[in-house]
């Protein structure tokens, strides 16, 4: 009996201390998570662009009207050079982080962004959230001829109602044609849409929204969604999720369209890292020029 007790006692002791350690670790990590949660601010400044520090669920509950832009590294770098683009960005009610690299940068700067919310993730979350809300009627503007119509059909099939009430795919350079823009404004107004999703690429989509929003009185929500219309139509495949989570979506896109994107990612956007270092050491200054404002 004594031998058995001598066997049980150390075993019981090791179990007791093992549980004690687990409880201490759990308590420590609960405090750590709470401390981290308190570090989040409502907005995060990255190179003088104020990014709203929201979760997707928070935004879906909150968004009843306003303009939503989704800055990524390319946007941030264009904003350093293009004053008109910067002015358009200032009109946005929500600026959401569309880049894992921006999240890494925010952590390095000591003010972390909670979640990456790309336009291509937020838009399907938005129309699924509102699939039974008859007040939400979407107009799609962008993509190549026929692509927006295909996206409209697929989205309406998914939600089992005609949530997308109209679409238009404008020709290249349409934004310089005032008559064409007036025609598009009329199409949108006549459609009965309350939400305008614009997929023209940056900075064109943001500038167009800023310029014509006052002529669209029925539109309550403006979404700048980049290539999302192509994704919804199945016209262009999205990067695999693990690549996006690593912050390598830019590399995936460049591998698919090297002629169009190599200069953007390897030359224009590479300076981002140097600017982030400048911000870290409080020597960064933003001086956007007007040289690209008319582009």
Residue 289 lies in a domain: no
Residue 155 lies in a domain: yes
Average pLDDT over residues 172-193: 98
44 pLDDT exceeds 80?
yes
Residue 72 lies in a domain: yes
Spatial distance between the Cα atoms of 254 and 269, rounded to a whole number of angstroms: 13
Percent of the chain with pLDDT over 70: 85
Between 181 and 15, the higher pLDDT residue = 181
Say if residue 32 is in the same domain as residue 112: no
* Residue matched to tokens 């219309």: 229
Residue 245 lies in a domain: no
198 forms beta bridges with: 141, 224
Task: Write the DSSP assignment of 224-289 as a string of letters.
Answer: E-TTHHHHHHTSSPPPPHHHHHTT-HHHHHHHHSHHHHHHIIIIITTTHHHHHHHHHTT------B
Average pLDDT over residues 188-210: 99
Say if residue 118 is in the same domain as residue 206: yes
Say if residue 141 is in the same domain as residue 57: yes
Residue 255 lies in a domain: no
Spatial distance between the Cα atoms of 213 and 209, rounded to a whole number of angstroms: 5
Say if residue 148 is in the same domain as residue 202: yes
Say if residue 87 is in the same domain as residue 12: no
138 forms beta bridges with: 164, 195
Say if residue 32 is in the same domain as residue 54: no
Say if residue 93 is in the same domain as residue 136: yes
Helix residue spans in the chain (DSSP H):
2-39, 56-62, 73-81, 83-90, 100-108, 119-129, 147-159, 178-191, 204-212, 228-233, 241-245, 249-256, 258-263, 272-280
Query: Residue 15: which domain range?
Result: 8-39
> How many structural domains compose the chain?
2
Say if residue 53 is in the same domain as residue 35: no
Q: Which range is least confidently modeled, 97-111, 162-176, 274-288?
A: 274-288
Residue 252 lies in a domain: no
Say if residue 129 is in the same domain as residue 217: yes
Say if residue 22 is in the same domain as residue 125: no
User: In this predicted model, what pLDDT tens digit does every residue of 268-283 receive, in sequence order?
Assistant: 788 999 999 999 999 9
Say if residue 96 is in the same domain as residue 158: yes
Residue 265 lies in a domain: no
What pLDDT does 95 receive?
99
261 pLDDT exceeds 50?
yes
User: In this predicted model, what pLDDT tens digit does every residue of 2-40 receive, in sequence order?
Assistant: 555 454 445 545 554 456 555 555 554 454 444 444 478
Residue 260 lies in a domain: no
User: In this predicted model, what pLDDT tens digit does every residue of 135-146 receive, in sequence order?
Assistant: 999 999 999 999
What pLDDT does 133 receive?
98
* Residue matched to tokens 């139509």: 233
Average pLDDT over residues 281-294: 73
Average pLDDT over residues 63-72: 98
Say if residue 90 is in the same domain as residue 221: yes
- The last residue of one of the domains, among 177, 203, 233, is 233
294 pLDDT exceeds 60?
no
Q: What is the pTM of this model?
A: 0.83
Q: Three-state DSSP class for 94?
A: strand
Q: What is the DSSP pairing of strand 43-46 with strand 49-52?
A: antiparallel
């Amino acid at each position: 009996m004594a031998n058995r007790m001598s066997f049980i006692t150390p075993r019981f002791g090791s179990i007791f201390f093992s549980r004690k350690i687990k409880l201490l670790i759990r308590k420590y990590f609960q405090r750590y998570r709470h401390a981290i949660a308190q570090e989040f601010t409502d907005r995060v400044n990255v190179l003088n662009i104020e990014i709203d520090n929201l979760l997707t669920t928070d935004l879906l509950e909150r968004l009843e009207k306003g303009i939503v832009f989704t800055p990524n590294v390319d946007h941030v770098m264009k904003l350093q050079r293009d004053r008109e683009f910067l002015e358009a960005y200032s009109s946005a009610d929500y600026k959401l982080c569309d880049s894992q690299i921006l999240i890494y940068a925010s952590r390095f700067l000591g003010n972390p962004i909670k979640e990456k919310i790309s336009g291509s993730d937020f838009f399907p979350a938005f129309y699924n959230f509102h699939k039974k809300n008859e007040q939400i009627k979407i107009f799609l503007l962008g993509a190549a001829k026929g692509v927006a119509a295909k996206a409209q059909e697929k989205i309406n099939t998914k939600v089992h109602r005609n949530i997308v009430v109209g679409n238009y795919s404008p020709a290249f350079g349409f934004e310089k044609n005032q008559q064409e823009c007036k025609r598009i404004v009329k199409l949108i107004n006549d459609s009965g849409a309350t939400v305008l999703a614009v997929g023209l690429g940056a900075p064109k989509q943001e500038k167009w929204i800023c310029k014509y929003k006052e002529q669209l009185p029925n539109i309550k929500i403006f979404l700048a969604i980049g290539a999302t219309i192509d994704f919804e139509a199945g016209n262009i495949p999205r990067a695999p999720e693990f690549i996006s989570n690593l912050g390598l979506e830019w590399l995936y896109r460049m591998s698919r369209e090297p002629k169009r994107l190599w200069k953007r990612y390897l030359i224009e956007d590479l300076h981002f890292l140097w600017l982030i270092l400048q911000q870290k050491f409080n020597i960064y200054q933003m001086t956007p020029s007007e040289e690209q404002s008319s582009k």
